[in-house]
Chains A and B, each alone.
Chain A
Amino acid sequence: AQKITQTQPGMFVQEKEAVTLDCTYDTSDPSYGLFWYKQPSSGEMIFLIYQGSYDQQNATEGRYSLNFQKARKSANLVISASQLGDSAMYFCAMNTGFQKLVFGTGTRLLVSP
C-alpha cells in the first residue's frame, strides 16, 4: 500500500527566509510520481511541483524546489524567499499508476512579516 507522511503539523517562517516542508513516502512500485499542492484558506488545491521517480534531477518551479532523496524515500518541498501569500496548508501526494492520488495530512505554513 502507498502512504505519505508529513510530520510537521505547522511551520513558521519569516518573510524572505527559506523553509523546508518534510514529506516521506512508502511504496513498493518502482514507478511513481510525487506532487506538492498548496491549499489557501479559500480551499482550492493548487498544484505546485512534480517529481517522477526516474527523474535524475530535482524538480524546480520558480521559488519552489523539491529535494528528492530516493534512497531515503523523502520528497521535501523547499520554498525560497517566503512571501506573506505563501501562508497556507501544503500537501504532499503520490500516485503510482493510473490516477489515484494518495495524500498526506498536510503542513500549515505561516509566514510572518
Chain B
Amino acid sequence: DGGITQSPKYLFRKEGQNVTLSCEQNLNHDAMYWYRQDPGQGLRLIYYSQIVNDFQKGDIAEGYSVSREKKESFPLTVTSAQKNPTAFYLCASSRTGLLETQYFGPGTRLLVL
C-alpha cells in the first residue's frame, strides 16, 4: 500500500540538542512538506520541496532545517535555535502542479525535557 510514514511517533529533546524527524513516502510524489501544529490551532507550513535537491522556506522556518536528497525522503531537523519546539509535526506529499491535494503522514509529537 502506498503512503507516508513518519518516525518516531514520539520524540523527546533535551535543551540545546538537535533532533531529526523522518518522513518517507512511496506515492511517487515530487512535492513534500512539513507542517507544525500547536494545540487548538491549524497547521503552519515550515518547509516545502517541489523537487529533489530543492526546498523553500514556509511561514515558520526559523530554527528548522531540511534536506531533500531523495525523492522519497524529506527529513526535518529541529535545531537548538528553535526555542519552542514542543508541537505535533506533520509531513505531507503531493503531485506537483496547481491545486494538488496533499496527503499526510501520521505525525510525530515532539516534547522538550
A-side residues, CB < 8 A to B, are 4, 31-33, 35, 37, 42-47, 50, 52, 91, 93, 95, 97-101, 103-106
B43 touches A91 (CB 8 A): yes
Can you list 22 A-B pairs, Cβ within 8 angstroms, ordered by A? A4-B42, A31-B99, A33-B99, A43-B107, A44-B107, A45-B104, A46-B104, A47-B103, A91-B42, A93-B43, A95-B99, A97-B98, A98-B50, A99-B33, A99-B48, A100-B48, A100-B58, A101-B43, A103-B43, A104-B42, A105-B42, A106-B40
The stretch of B11-19, B64-72, B74-82, B88-96 in contact with A is B88-96
B84 within 8 Å of A (CB atoms): no
Q: A43-B88, A44-B105 are in contact. Are A98 and B96 (CB under 8 A)?
A: yes
Task: Pick the most buried of A31, A33, A45, A104: most chain B CB atoms within 10 A of its CB.
Answer: A45
Any A CB within 8 A of the CB of B1: no
What residues make up the interface of B, taking CB atoms closer than 8 Å to A? 31, 33, 35, 40-45, 48, 50, 58, 88, 90, 92, 94, 96-107, 109
A-B contact count (CB 8 A): 66
- Inter-chain contact B102/A101, CB cutoff 8 Å: yes
Give, as a whole number of angstroms, the nearest-CB distance from B1 to chain A. Answer: 14
CB-defined contacts of A33 to chain B, threshold 8 Å: 99
Chain A nearest CB from B72 CB (Å) reads: 18
B40 touches A105 (CB 8 A): yes
Q: How far is the CA of A103 from the CA of B35 in the complex (A)?
A: 11
CA of A95 to CA of B35 in the docked complex: distance in angstroms? 14
Which of B33, B58, B109 contacts A43, CB < 8 Å?
Answer: B109
